[in-house]
Each structure stands twice: as C-alpha cells, then as structure tokens.
Amino acid sequence: MTIKEFGGKVASVWEGLRPVTKKMVVGALKTGDAQNSQAPRFYYDAHADWEVSRLLSALDEQSSTSETRRDSAKLNEIKELAETCARILESQSASAEVFIQLASRAIRENDYRRLDRLADTLAERYSAGEIAEIVRQTEMPQIRAVAYETLAMMPVENLVPLLDDALYSGIAAGALEQKAFEFESDEARDVLDQYDSGLLGEA
C-alpha cells in the first residue's frame, strides 16, 4: 500500500517532508528502531520534530475515519506508520507541544505504561522552562500532574529563574510549593518565603 492510499492529508504532509526526514521515517519503519534509524546517517533537528509531529497528527486523524476503519489492512498499515512516528518523537523530541501530543495519545489509548515512559523522558531530556510550557499549554489534568511532579523533583536552582518569568512564575511557585511540602525541601520553602515577601532577586 502506498502513502497516497492513506488519504489526501497524509499524502500531502508526506510530500512536504524533507528527503532526510522521509529517509529517517522509512528507516525506522523497516528496522523498528527509532533511535538507530537516524544515527549516524540522519541528523534530527527541530524541523524534523515538527515534520514528524505533523505526519503523526495526519495519520491519527486518518485512522479514526469510518472509511479507514472499514479497511483493516489499511488501518493496520496506518497504525504501524503512526507508531513509528511516535517512537521517533519519543526517542528524540524535547518539545512541549510534542510531549502533549504523545501523552494525549497514550491517555486516549489507555496506554499508561507508555505515559510512564514519557514521564521519564521529561526528567532526562526537557528543560524546566519546556516542562512549565507543558503545564501552561495542556488542558489534560493527567499531563499537568506529570509535568508538575517532574518540576517538583528538579533542583531548586532550576526553578528559581522561572519565578521572574510572567508566563511561568505561578507554575514555578506551584512546583516549589509541592517540593517544599510533599518532598519536605527546606530550600524550596526558603525560596517560596522570599518570593512571597517580594525579596527574591533583591541585592
């Protein structure tokens, strides 16, 4: 079955991919290994992140149509390609938007083992600012809880700069509060006291 048979939107997104991204996806599809597929031959960058994320969205949308669901062979091939895209993103991405996309898929599919794996990548690969962006963007309480818990487990010095950012100050304060009271961190409690008193950042 060819990409064109997967539907117009999937075909359009596929045609818009750079050759290097197409090769990466095809390589991962053949080997079943998202990490080895781009090393050393393929360079993964923010553009690849965006491209693979768009392709995954188009595949998920197509797999939910009644036409596709009536064709089991087509549905299985679309799901296989979507799973390959998801594995690539899981192994490489550090984007808030992509994390929300992947975590939302896991929740929809009741795949909580995958959600746990995604949570592990937050602590390993994502910056405090990107995790705060996940909290800010998501509307799903499960994803927000995972992101908040990851922030709360980070060193206090990683969270302090966020207190000066109008977008993330409330999120950082919430994470510090969780760190102070659930994880009994005196350092987090001291920073919160200074922040609440308006003393943080003063000479």
For 12-46, write each residue's pLDDT tens digit: 999 999 999 999 999 999 887 655 444 435 578 89
pTM over 0.85? The answer is yes
User: Tell me, what amino acid is at 82?
Assistant: A
Q: Take residue 182 and report the two structure tokens written for it.
A: 């659930």
pLDDT band at residue 196, thresholds of 50, 70 and 90?
confident
User: Where do we find the tokens 């009644």?
Assistant: 66
**Average pLDDT of the residues of the chain:** 90
Average pLDDT over residues 142-150: 96
Q: Is residue 3 predicted with pLDDT exceeding 70?
A: yes
Give 51-107 pLDDT, tens digit per residue: 999 999 999 999 999 988 899 999 999 999 999 999 999 999 999 999 999 999 999
Mean pLDDT confidence for 46-53: 95
Mean pLDDT of 147-160: 96
Catalogue the long-range contacts made by 31-37 (C-beta closer than 8 Å, 24 or more residues apart).
32/84, 34/84, 34/87, 34/88, 34/90, 34/91, 34/92, 35/91, 35/92, 37/88
Backbone angles phi, psi at 126, to 5 degrees: -95, 145
CA distances from 154 to 52, 117, 192 (A): 29, 18, 15
Query: Per this entry, what is the length of the chain?
Result: 203
Amino acid at 174: G
Q: Which of 4-8, 47-51, 147-151, 180-184 comes out lowest in average pLDDT? A: 4-8
- Least Cα distance to 137 among 168, 162, 109 occurs for 168
Pick 98 or 5 by higher pLDDT: 98
Q: Residue 129 — pLDDT band, cuts 50, 70, 90?
A: very high
pLDDT at residue number 44:
82
Q: How much is the pLDDT for 34? A: 54
DSSP letter string over 130-198? HHHHHHHH---HHHHHHHHHHHHTS-HHHHGGGGG-TTTHHHHHHHHHHHHHTS--HHHHHHHHHHHTT
